Structure 1
Amino acid sequence: MTNIAFIGLGIMGNPMAVHLAQAGYTVAGLDRSVERAAELVAAGGRAADSIADAVKGADVVCVMVPDSPDVQEVLDDVFQEAETGTLIIDFSSIRPDVTQQLAAQAQALGFRLLDAPVSGGEAGAKNAVLSIMVGGSAEDFAAAKSLFDVVGKTVVHVGPSGSGQTVKAANQLIVAANIQAVAEAVVFLEAYGVDTEAALEVLGGGLAGSTVLQQKKANMLSRTFEPGFRIDLHHKDMGIVTAAAREAGVVVPLGSLVAQLVASARVNGDGGLDHSALLRGVERLSGKAVN
């Protein structure tokens, strides 16, 4: 499988497509913003002008778009334009039930679909160290493993269709709660005049240490929230978590609270910022001026 169509060249999709081109795959990239294909072209790929153009001759179609309706819209066209038997890898983070419906539709039309949401943010995508949780058949996973290894470091087949999205929902619950806890800790430390950078260094070396703390502390200390992963998208993901938990009869009290805090950040105009900007919500609740 050497010919790849990559649809969605945003913060995550762009570096992933570039890595695949650099690894020797023939990659045709497509995005609504044409200029986003520039890095892929520089890496040896090409810019497609339509889904039909992108998937022509493709062995694999990769999708990385924001939400369930976006994936459905893209796959409606892919199902019409791609060759029967093509393997479709959806790297997007969407609802597990939608993935299951799309997988059934794909199978009925002669396609193969893997749901393969990723974790690691922009840094993970740029450094090709993403965690990839894959749902679908074991055979299709084995066929795509070499491709996954180009863009990810921890690649695990977690079960049948929809399983990858379920694991990603759990991931987003943990990440949001962790970011909120770090944000509260930063505001707490600053209120006491502690050398916050030193405090976070020592906390990072103990049981409180986490990838979230290491990756997001600089954003919080400097109050710079250029998005690696936007609050808008985490809001969408927390909606997936809470809805899926309710459907399964599972209680997620912390998850529900964090979902409301993420929603509050979005309503207050922070949706386009990195999710580390949950810090701003803590400051608002604490009566502090938010820059």
Structure 2
Amino acid sequence: MGEVMCRNLVLKGDAEVVGYDVRPEPLARLAPTGVQVAESMSDISSRCSIVFLSLPAAEHVREICLGDGGLLENCADGTIVIDLSTVPPALAQELNTKFAVRNIAFADAPVARSRHAAVDGTLSIMFGGDTEILERVRPHLACMGTDITHCGGPGTGQVVKILNNMLLFDTCLSIAETLAIGERAGVDPQLLVDTLSKGSADSFALRTHAGRAMLNNNYPTEAFSVHYALKDLTYALEIADETGVEARAGKLVREFFNRAIEAGLGDQYYPVVKKLVEGNS
């Protein structure tokens, strides 16, 4: 996701873009678009007034921000750091507090929708932070997304994104069950999806995850995997515990994700849980 978002910053924006990744391949692919390659995070800190992060998990964000040679240590006063990753709200709030001591602005701005949306620059971006910072970075966010929602203060963007994913995962499991029941009852799966999408059961998950993945048993490893889905669901269930909500549906989905990983499906696109519902794994 980070690679294509970076590409859109160059192709749709007018700012000079400097990129850094621990892997050389994404930077090599971005070089022809005009992305300049940084040698290290220290290099990014010294060259950039606005830093966007797109990282796999909370531990990576913490290390990049707070670790030795990280952003907190090296960014200049007045730098803006925007985290596009999905991490626990508590971490976003912690980073906001620690960066503020050094006069560095921080906000969380996790993204939603598919990889296709990331490529097209039509992501949904959920912003948690000060309005002034949002308005300063809005032109850059608009290169990556078409819907930018100010969710509130630090950490609220993460809350909304994480709950978005929990609801999506819950829905996908329900769709998998629906397809299994319908097919065993003698209904053509494609007809079932097409018909449901015309009524009150319609949803983004039905049209995309069912239509593109479940109907064709297409669960590529380069898509959002069960491992990543379980990470986000774990964050959601932590919020549920903190707020005193049972979240039984989410816990059931967690059970399926864990079973998928035990079955060797962890690296596949997460709607692969349909195989478990069907009893095929």
Name the CA distance, whole Å, in 2 between partners of 1:247 and 1:170. Answer: 14
Q: Which consecutive aligned stretches of 4+ in structure 1 deviate over 3 angstroms post-superposition?
A: none
* Partner of residue 8, structure 2: 19
Q: 1:219 aligns with which of 213, 218, 230?
A: 213
Q: Deviation digits for residues 148-168 of structure 1, max 9, x if unmatched?
A: 111111111110001011111
1:208-234 per-position Cα deviation (integer Å, ceiling 9, x unaligned) = 111111111221111111142111111
For residues 213-256 of structure 1, give each alpha carbon's deviation from its aligned partner in whole angstroms, at most 9, with x where no partner exists. Answer: 11112211111111421111110111111111111112212122
CA drift of 1:202 comes to 1.4
In the alignment, which residue of structure 1 is the partner of 2:196? 203
- The CA deviation at 1:190 is 2.3
Matches within 5 A, 1:124-135: 124-135=117-128
For 1:25 and 1:180, how far apart are their aligned partners in 2?
42
TM-score (structure 2 length as normaliser): 0.93
Q: Does 1:246 align with 2:261?
A: no
Q: What are the residue-to-residue correspondences of 1:255-270 with 2, within 5 Å?
A: 255-270=250-265
Contact kept in structure 2, 1:115 and 1:165, CA below 8 Å: yes
Note the C-alpha offset of 1:81.
Answer: 2.3
Displacement after TM superposition at 1:79 (Å): 1.6
Q: Tell me, which stretches of 5 or more residues in structure 2 are unaligned?
A: none
Which residue is equivalent to 1:282?
277
Distance in 2 separating the partners of 1:15 and 1:220: 25
Maintained 8 Å contact 1:96/1:165: yes
Whether the 8 Å contact between 1:123 and 1:228 is mirrored in structure 2 is no
1:73 Cα offset (Å): 0.5
Gaps of at least 5 residues in structure 1 are 1-11
Q: Deviation at 1:283?
A: 2.1
Q: Which residue matches 1:88?
A: 81
Distance 1:103 1:67 in 2: 17
Contact kept in structure 1, 2:179 and 2:192, CA below 8 Å: no
Note if contact 1:21-1:40 (Cα within 8 Å) is conserved in structure 2: no
Distance 1:53 1:219 in 2: 41
1:26 and 1:55 map into 2 onto residues whose CA distance is 14
The equivalent position to 1:123 in structure 2, one of 100, 116, 123, is: 116
TM-score w.r.t. length of structure 1: 0.90
Distance 1:264 1:153 in 2: 36
Match of residue 55 from structure 2? 65
The reply to whether residue 159 of structure 1 matches residue 159 of structure 2 is no
Count residues in correspondence. 275
For residues 180-211 of structure 1, give each alpha carbon's deviation from its aligned partner in whole angstroms, at most 9, with x where no partner exists: 11111222222234221122111112111111
* TM superposition shift of 1:267: 2.4
1:188 to 178, 181, 195: 181
SS for the counterpart of 1:261 is: helix
Deviates more, 1:274-283 or 1:67-76: 274-283
| 237-246 or 180-189: bigger deviation | 180-189
**Mapped pair 1:41 → 2:31:** yes
Pairing partner for 1:56 from 35, 46, 55: 46
Query: Which letter does structure 2 place at the counterpart of 1:108?
Result: V
Sequence identity, in percent?
27
Distance in structure 2 (CA, Å) of the matches to 1:266 and 1:112: 38
Q: Aligned partners of 2:181, 2:44: CA distance in 1, in Å?
A: 50
